Amino acid sequence: MATPNLVNIATITPKNAMGNLSDTNRTTMIDVPAETAVRIDSILLANIDGTNAVDATVEISNDNGSTYFKIASTISVPADSTLDLIARPIYLDETDLIAVTAGAANDLSFHVSYVEMVD
């Protein structure tokens, strides 16, 4: 496994990852495969609870899930609203992960728009 060479990319594929968080466990949104780099263009977090705000934490792991680094920590998403989390693209390398944790079960959904680049 080697870091993908962005000059010699074989395929570029636009993708989306989405889901509803049914519990308060850390949930992987994207797990970057070997020989691949990912450019995340947007992360949307939607509070689907009509009454209460919900906290969200988003983290990146650069060692396949052993250690995580927060890019958003316990950010409150108001009831019935959507948070656009990033203003600029984020790049992930092979075996990197990006995960989300909700402060309450069944209150948060996510949508990640990204481009997968395979070496």
pLDDT band at 7 (very low <50, low <70, confident <90, very high): confident
Structural domains of the chain, ranges and CATH numbers in brackets:
6-118 (2.60.120.340)
On the 0-12 / 13-18 / 19+ scale of CB atoms within 10 A, 56 is buried
The string of pLDDT tens digits covering residues 74-88 is 999 999 999 999 999
Give how far Cα 31 sits from Cα of 12, 23, 36, 55, 91, Å.
17, 19, 10, 23, 12
CB atoms within 10 A of CB 55: 18
| pLDDT over 70 percentage in the chain | 98
Question: Does pLDDT of 2 surpass 80?
Answer: no
Q: What is the pTM of this model?
A: 0.93
Residue 8: predicted pLDDT:
81
66 contacts 99 by C-beta, under 8 angstroms: no
Instruction: Dump the DSSP string for 10-53.
Output: SEEEEEEEEEEE-SSS-EEEEEPPTTEEEEEEEEEEEE--SS--
- The more confident residue out of 4 and 42 is 42
- 45-63 mean pLDDT: 97
Which pLDDT value is given to residue 70? Answer: 98
Helix (H) or strand (E) holding 97: strand 97-102
pLDDT band at 41 (very low <50, low <70, confident <90, very high): very high
